[in-house]
A and B are shown apart, each in its own frame.
Chain A
Amino acid sequence: MKADVVFKPLRELGPLLESRKLSPVELTEHFLERLERFGPRYNAVVTVMREHALLQARRAEGDIATGRYRGPLHGIPYGAKDLLATAGAPTTWGAAPYRTQRFDFDATVVRRLEEAGAVLVAKLSMIELAGGMGYRQPTASFTGPCINPWDANAWTGGSSSGSGAAVSSGLVPFAIGSETWGSILSPAGYCGLAGLRPTYGRVSRYGAMALCWSLDKLGPLAQTADDCGLVLDAIAGPDPMDPTASPRPYRYETLDRKSFRFGRIRGVTDGCEEAVVENFTRSLGVLGKFATIEEVALPDLPYEQITRTILQVEASSAFEDLIGSGGIAGLTAPEDRYTPYARDAILAKDYLKAVRLRAVMAREIDRVLERYDALVAPGRINEAPVLGQEFRSAIGATAKDAMGAIGNGAGLPAVCVPNGFGVRGLPTSIQFMGRAWEENTVLAAARAYQSLTDWHTRHPRLARAGEAC
């Protein structure tokens, strides 16, 4: 197996598999070896699905050999955040109290990827309970803090931590993550990847751990925005098992547009690290080659408070048993063992005010977005946090994140892609957030940006294919 398959985009791997220049079984073996060898280095993996994966890979090989090629994911290995139910393996939700939990069915996303011919090679590590208990530092998973492949002293971000580490270090070509507020964009941004948060309801949540029923979304992390589109095409669509899954059909469209119109929220870089601001400013210069960019002022609403209140109350209700019984004492992060108790003091009337204001927020932001293809902003305010230290977060009210609060509160799609490096040599990112159901527009914008930059072609030195294989 040639090492250069490791960071190859799906767009390039697919034709090699279809033309039988590359064997799904060999490809799967190669990534299984990488997962077993390097997964522990990054605390990225909960379960390697060796037997299951080889079974799926052999089936893919047979199908392709007999002319039954299913499309661009056929024969491609991938990893799933360990909050997606998979028959035949534990589904731990990243949390010690659930480390032996098993389901006898596959989540809809896992089933759809199987139908597309993709090969599930690993369940990937995550922040315990997707971060819903209020964690403030990286050591909040029973598998340990997830280590950033760019720097052994840095965190990957969370809560889809293993998904970020595994794709960034070339252990899988793509991974599925989930986002309630920041859990796809954070690890994608900190690990130098493309990450797509789809519109709420675009992808079925059936079989995924519920943290917040009205905020949870599932989406891909991959090497490029284009790859994210290929994965979304396979996993999107209605599902009778999830009443919030939209009946709107979705097909990934790759028609390249010549021009875009972007908005930039006034003050969107306030609180960002200097290097993040510099890289974002340089990115605007790149975008200026094919787009107009206008500064926009948002209506004065308590965006972070709206989404935070909804998140805290829904998460508290979803884990009522664990919290009420004192079972949270078995969680890994010390703060997760008691801070959820405070949420009993959020009044129902205040929660409902947040839910009513969410509707106002959704209307107001749509009014802004109807004039643009996307709002652009830094993907993260900083380089990846250092391991062993508390980080700033909008969920914890120690940082501002209007884009995240609005995007998640209103259920809007966003994609982030790398746009440079900070002073510590860690990736920074830019995000494109669009109107509801406009994944194709934000993906087209991100593709246009990536067509003029090469940040996505750079990979962590430790895991560079030539050294590692």
Chain B
Amino acid sequence: MIQAAKPDPEADALFEIVRARYGDRLTPAQLDELRKIVAGQLEAARALRAVALANADEPMQPFAPYRNEP
């Protein structure tokens, strides 16, 4: 007997963003696949969220204030 997938309201809500924005361009088969991809992305996000960081853990990105000077 095939078990139904566990309900995941967050995955459903995220998928609805995709459907709302692009649904008119997509076939049912493509929408089905996008639902799976969104679920995979959420799984990755949950793995990221599971790691605790300290307040001081900053992104490693160079940003410098800009001023155009000759």
Contact = CB atoms under 8 A, between A and B. Distances in A.
A360 B21 contact: no
Interface of B: 14-15, 17-18, 21-22, 25-26, 30, 33-34, 37-38, 40-42, 44-45, 47-51, 53, 57-62
A344 B18 contact: yes
A341 B34 contact: yes
Nearest to B64: A243
Interface of A: 214, 243-244, 301-302, 304-306, 308-309, 312, 326, 329, 338-339, 341-347, 350, 352-360, 362, 397
B59 A355 contact: yes
Task: Tell me which of A342, A343, A350 has the highest count of chain B C-beta atoms within 10 A of its own C-beta.
Answer: A342
A359 B45 contact: no
18 contacts: A243-B62, A302-B47, A302-B50, A302-B51, A304-B44, A305-B44, A308-B44, A309-B44, A312-B41, A338-B25, A338-B30, A352-B59, A353-B45, A356-B58, A358-B59, A359-B58, A360-B57, A397-B40
B33 to A, nearest CB: 7
B12 to A, nearest CB: 11
Mostly, the A contact residues are helix
Given A359-B59, A359-B60, A397-B40, A345 B51 contact: no
A312 B41 CA distance: 10
Contact of A357 (B38, B42, B48): B48
A346 B34 CA distance: 13
A247 to B, nearest CB: 12
Given A343-B41, A346-B41, A360 B53 contact: yes
Nearest to B14: A345
Given A243-B62, A356-B59, A357-B53, A342 B37 contact: yes
A341 B22 contact: yes
A338 B53 contact: no
B18 A358 contact: no
Contacts of B30: 338
Contacts of B21: 341, 344
Given A243-B62, A344-B17, A352-B59, A339 B34 contact: yes
B17 to A, nearest CB: 5
A270 B25 CA distance: 40
